[in-house]
Amino acid sequence: MTPFSRSFLGVRFDVIDLNTAVAQVSAAARRDRPFQYVVTPNSKWIVRAHRGDARAAPAFDGAWLSLNDSRIVELLAQRLFGFRLPTVTGSDLVARLFQGVITPASSIVLVGGSAELEARLRRLYGVRDIRRFDPPMGLYENDAALDAAARYVCEAPADYVFLICGMPQAEMIAERVVAHGGASGVGLCVGAALEFLVDLRRRAPPGWRRAGLEWLHRLIANPRGHARRVFIESLPVILVAAQARWVRRSSAE
């Protein structure tokens, strides 16, 4: 753990704000520094980790930075446990990097995404050096495909590596990049952040995000696509937190 880290509901988080995260990523994104990666666990990952995902958990444990991606998790930490766990979403981090850190001279590797995403990044932000690896579906159980993606990153030095092939596949690739050795720059496991950045997807308005209702906005926009994620994969984090609070109170009595 870094000096800023703490464990919450069984997941490690670095307790830093957005400005600090941007500064740290900016300083580390150099081709003369060994590869490190950033993960952005949310309520979905907390629930999944609580249910036991031994295959992917080491990838989160091995991250250089682990940033809280959920305002619901921030609220649970503050209301039930009395400490502040700042929300630094992958989307906010990526937006700030492209607003003031990433330049046309930066080099980028995309693991996942689409040709249209790559084209919009070039057009909107002028980045000339973009390389993209298109991994197959079913990565989670496909060791050969995970290794192939990791080798691509190691053989394509870049300042920024955006791993955008879903959680926890992205994190598992990043872990293998470190294990392989020889890669450089910073890996960012940031979900759909780049798609929001270039308007391939519409993000919730700022008011919804500040209120911790980005999940509800996505559910309303795509109820069939997000119902399972919200009700089965994410909202049980409230039960996980309640159980942890009960155990804490019982042990204190």
71-127 tens-digit pLDDT: 999 999 999 999 999 999 999 999 999 999 999 999 999 999 999 999 999 999 999
- Of 213 and 157, the one with more pLDDT: 157
pLDDT at 197 over 80: yes
pLDDT of amino acid 214: 82
**pLDDT over 80 (residue 251):** no
Distances in whole angstroms, Cα of residue 182 to Cα of each of 53, 129, 138: 28, 20, 26
Distance, in Å, from the CA atom of 99 to the CA atom of 11, rounded to the nearest integer, reads: 30
Q: What is the pLDDT of residue 129?
A: 96
- Give the containing element (helix H, strand E) for 13: strand 11-14
**Distances from the Cα of 145 to the Cα of 59, 137, 139, 142, 175, angstroms:** 16, 9, 6, 5, 14
Q: What is the pLDDT of residues 23-65, one digit of tens each?
A: 999 999 988 889 999 999 999 999 999 999 999 999 999 999 9
What per-residue confidence (pLDDT) applies to 147?
97
For 31, the token pair is: 């081709």
- pLDDT band (50, 70, 90) for residue 248: confident
The pLDDT, as a whole number, for residue 67 is 98
- pTM of the predicted model, to two decimals? 0.93
Look at residue 3 in the predicted model and tell me its pLDDT: 60
| Alpha helices, DSSP H, located in 111-236 | 115-125, 143-155, 169-180, 193-197, 206-210, 214-221, 223-228
